[in-house]
Amino acid sequence: MNKLGFIPILLLLVLTLTGCNLFESKKDIPIEMVAFNSLTDEEKDLIPASPKDSIVKKVTVNGEIESVIDKNYNKDEVYSVTFNNTETNSSGNLMVFFDLDKKTFVGKSKHSLE
C-alpha cells in the first residue's frame, strides 16, 4: 500500500474513533439543573442566585414526603433538591423530589419537611 492510500484510511479511522468518543463523553445534566428546569417561572423567580445554591440529599420516603410526591411512586428513597434562600413568610424553602435515576420528577413542596 502506498502513502497516498494509507493517509485517507488513517484519516477515516481517526474521524470514526473521535466521533464515537464524542457520543460517549456527553455528561449528564446535574440534578440541580434538572430540578430548576422543572420549576414554574414564578418558582424560578424565588431563587436569588444560582440553582447550584442548593442541597441535594438522598432521603427515605416518609409520610410527609409521600404526601407531596406522585402517588404511583413506590420506591423507598428519593433525591431531594432544596433551593436555599427561597423561603417566604408563609412557607419554607422550595424542595423538588426526583427518582433515583436523577431525571424523573416525582414531586415538590414549598413547606419544610425536615
Exposed, middle or buried, 104 (CB in 10 Å: 0-12/13-18/19+)? middle
Q: How far apart are the first and last CA of the chain?
A: 71
The pLDDT of residue 61: 94
pLDDT of residue 60: 95
pLDDT in tens, 51-88: 888 999 999 999 999 999 999 999 999 999 999 988 88
Where are the chain's structural domains? Answer: 29-109
**Residues for the chain: how many in total?**
114
Q: What pLDDT, in 10s, does the model give residues 26-48?
A: 567 899 999 999 999 998 988 88
Query: What would the grid cell of residue 89 be?
Result: 413568610
90: left (phi over 0), alpha (psi -120 to 50) or beta: alpha
Q: What's the confidence (pLDDT) of residue 12?
A: 77
The whole model's pTM is what? 0.72
Conformation bin of residue 2: beta by default, left when phi > 0, alpha when psi is -120 to 50? beta
